Every structure is written in C-alpha cells, then in structure tokens.
Amino acid sequence: MDFLQAFSLEGKVALITGASYGIGFAIAKGMAGAGATIVFNDINQELVDKGLAAYKAEGIEAHGYVCDVTNEDAVNEMVAKIETEVGVIDILVNNAGIIKRIPMCEMTAAQFRQVIDIDLNGPFIVSKAVIPSMIKKGHGKIINICSMMSELGRETVSAYAAAKGGLKMLTKNIASEYGEYNIQCNGIGPGYIATPQTAPLREIQPDGSRHPFDQFIIAKTPAARWGEASDLAAPSVFLASDASNFVNGHILYVDGGILAYIGKQPQ
C-alpha cells in the first residue's frame, strides 16, 4: 500500500456523535479533509441545523440527525437510517459528552447518573449499534473520546472521571472482544482544549493578569499552551485510517505533555 494512501479515508462513512461544534466538529473537519463522508448527530434540531450550517461554511456536505445517544431505540433507528441514506458506518467517533463541575458531596445521585449515562452508556449504546455491520463488512474503526480524567482525578469532577475511566476500559474491552473481526477500537484523551466552553477560564482578568486556572494549566503543560481543537484532527484521522490497522485498545493522549510532567519545582 502507498504510504500516504494508508492515511486516506476516501470512500469511508464516519459518524461523529455530538459534532455540531467544538472538538467533534474539528475531528469531523479533519476526517472530511482526508476524504470521509461525514455524518453527525446532536440532541435537538437546533443544534443539528447549527452544525449543518457550520459544515456548509467549510465546504463540507455533512449529514445531520437528531438523536439522544442514551436512547437505545433512537440510536438503533438512527444507525439504520444512516445505513439506508448514506451507507454503512466505517468509522465511529464517540464524542458526545457532558461534564458537571460539582463537589462530590454536593452532587446528587441523579446528576452523577446523568454524566455516566451520556459519557459512558452512550458510547456503549452507539458502539453496539454499529459493530454488527462492521463485522459483516469486515472492518471498522471506533474512536472513543476519553480524557486525561481517564487517568487522573481532580476536584469537582467525580462523575466525569468515573465515566471517562470507564470509557477507557470499555475501549480496551471492545478491542479485546472484536479485534478478530478487523475492528480496531482506540481512544483519544484530549488535554485542556481552547473551546467556547473553556473560554471563561482563559479570560484576561480586570487587572490584566491571566485567569488563575489559565495560569495553572500553562504551568502544568510542557507545551506551555492550551490545545486547539484542530490538534485532535490528525490523531483522529490516523486512528480512523488503515495506517492504524494494528493499533488496538490504545489511548492516545493529546495533552501537550501534561501526563508526562510532574510540574515545576517551586521557586
């Protein structure tokens, strides 16, 4: 196989969940650039329409569907519809997720369950829906958007860390259970990414100083910067392409080196 051709996604159908904006949108844009046909979902029509307009502005003909990833019947219906209207899904990126920053003892069990439901049960449900057709086709790629919280804990993110730790292990289990069918399941663990959601944490303070959390992240990151959503595109294309056909059950941390770094010695 031609070396560069190994990274091509020409002729592939890629479903990226929750990809109307942010990290999912950046990953989808990268995959479209590599030749994939993009399919995405979001929780309501307003977000899907917003996503379709954003893809169109980038010159990408995407296919959008309204679907709640925690609703198994709705997911099965969406996947069947995609197979009929677009084609069998070759690549799945389980990107849809939420975070609730609440101290553990102040978080209700219902709030904890909601995070687990979307961030862990959702990837299980969507993966289960696409795997049978991947088996029939003889190949498939599943990429789970994990997190540094798959490895680390931090204040106020107990549910998120529990979900992402579980997602890391679900990734390894899918790889173990379906690798023999030429299905590769890997994860990407983003570091701190500059998105609209993290913008308040990067605002310059009235006195001209950086936000305390911004200072903390810069000090903890060997790259000395926040990541951009686009930093996740090429790693995703690699894991979605034939170039990674013998990479399975791996979590690729795209974090600027945070997990490798103990931090600076106090002056």
Among residues 160, 178, 192, 253, the one annotated as catalytic is 160
Neighbours of 238 (CB within 10 A): 19
Collapse the DSSP code of 254 into the 3-class scheme (helix H, G, I; strand E, B; otherwise coil) and give the result: strand
Phi and psi at residue 69, to the nearest 5°: -70, -10
Q: How far apart, in Å, are the Cα atoms of 24 and each of 14, 97, 230?
A: 12, 10, 10
Residues in CB range of 120: below 8 A, 6 or more apart: 163, 166, 167, 170
Neighbours of 109 (CB within 10 A): 8
In the residue annotation, 160 being an active-site residue is answered as: yes
Q: How far apart, in Å, are the Cα atoms of 189 and each of 4, 85, 226, 242?
A: 25, 32, 14, 21
State the catalytic residues: 160
